[in-house]
Amino acid sequence: MFRNLTFTLLILALLLAGCSSAAPTPAALTFTDGLGRTITLTGPAQKIVSLAPSNTEILFAIGAGAQMVGRDDYSDYPEAAKALPMLGSLNKANVEQIVALKPDLVLAAEINTQEQVKALADLGLTVYYLSNPKTIEDMYSNLETVAKLTGHAPDAATLIATLKVRVAAVDKKLKTTTSKPVVFYELDATDPAKPWTVGPGTFVDLLINRAGGVNLATAAGVKDAYPQVSVEQVVSSDPDMIILGDSMWGVAVESVGQRPGWEKLKAVTGKQVFPFDDNIVSRPGPRLVDGLETLAKLLHPESFK
């Protein structure tokens, strides 16, 4: 009987030890988003909805693409993102469909209005508003933030290290350049007499400067981020280079010289008009580094021979 009692007590002790060694409940993760709101997750988000192309690109780049359950209509990169359900565009998101997916995180960006963020949060969804970076270095911080939200800190660290090496390589090659070509970056020339361009504070302006150039609109004293400029303003500045961000929408290099008043521009006569993928400079994600490299090679080909 004594031996049976001892055996029973031993079994109980082992069971209690097993219970005590069970995995602890994960601690809640608390963040402050770009709107100053406190966001709490019970653990890294596993079902994520992205409301911006830049967010989608960040999620895939840090290894969290498989955790996405939906995306906005404009999220078309990488290719794998296209297989995800489309949930509307920008501020016309399909709220009912988002709720039905039961995401544990909705990742918004500055292209989404604060009213949209509030409306989704009021429905009980956890919405994190990711502010746009002001510099490439700020973009690294955004990668780290999304990595913490999704449980991919090591992946983000590896990515950031690679991006820093690439940016440093560009900076090094441009260190000895003395010229700063004036660049006219075209967004939309539906009205060729008054095309849309980019001004101060935009990613394109930031990258043109970092790539060793001068943005025509900024140099001309334009204050708006996305202004229309007149042909007279373009002609008086006589840019060294014209970059067609609207080539994605069918604007051909040859058509620029056929516009009234454009035919004698230095960029046109010198054959310095180039098509360009606007997505790599307008989406504040890791492909901004692609944009920097591409612009630097266009502006200073002599430094990349």
The stretches of the chain forming alpha helices (DSSP H) are 2-20, 53-61, 95-100, 114-122, 136-150, 153-174, 203-210, 216-219, 231-237, 253-256, 266-269, 279-282, 288-299
Cβ burial of 178 (10 Å; 0-12, 13-18, 19+) is exposed
Report pLDDT digits (tens) over 73-97.
Answer: 999 999 999 999 999 987 788 999 9
Q: Is the pLDDT of residue 210 over 80?
A: yes
Task: Give the tens place of pLDDT for each residue, 18-44.
Answer: 544 444 556 789 999 999 999 999 999
Cα 108-35-77 angle, rounded to 5 deg? 20
Across the chain, what does the average pLDDT equal?
92
Residue 122: the pLDDT is 96
What pLDDT does 305 receive?
A: 87
Q: Which residue segments constitute the domains of the chain, with CATH numbers given?
A: 29-167 (3.40.50.1980), 176-304 (3.40.50.1980)
pLDDT digits (tens, 9 = 90+) for 41-56: 999 999 999 999 999 9
The pTM of this model reads 0.89
* 50-86: b (≥16 Cβ within 10 Å) or e: bbbbbbbbbbbbbbbbebbbbbbebbebeeebeebee
